[in-house]
Amino acid sequence: MDVTALLQTKIKIVVDAMSLMQNEVLDITKAYWATDANTKISALSLDTDAATLATKLTKAEYLGGITAVEALGKFFTNQAVTTADYLISFDKLRYGSHAAGAKLSEATEQLGSRMNLVALNAIEMFKMAKDILSIYINNEVGDMIANLDAQRHIPGSQMTEDELSSGVTVVEQFKKLVNNEAVTQGDYASTLAKWQIL
Query: Among 182, 90, 177, which Cα is nearest to 130's?
Result: 177
Q: DSSP label at 160?
A: B
Name the pLDDT band for 153 (thresholds 50, 70, 90). Answer: confident
CB-CB contact of 125 with 174 (8 Å) = yes
Q: Which residue has the higher pLDDT, 174 or 196?
A: 174
CB-CB contact of 10 with 32 (8 Å) = no
> Domain residues of the chain, as ranges?
3-195
Look up the pTM and report it: 0.93
Q: What's the confidence (pLDDT) of residue 73?
A: 97
CA distances from residue 88 to 6, 28, 68, 75, 129 in whole angstroms, order as listed: 30, 19, 10, 18, 17
Q: Please name the residues in contact with 146: beta carbons below 8 A apart, sequence gap of 6 or more.
A: none
Sign of the C-alpha dihedral computed for residues 84, 32, 120 and 75 taken in this order: negative
pLDDT digits (tens, 9 = 90+) for 70-112: 999 999 999 999 999 999 999 999 999 999 999 999 999 999 9
Q: What's the confidence (pLDDT) of residue 156?
A: 82
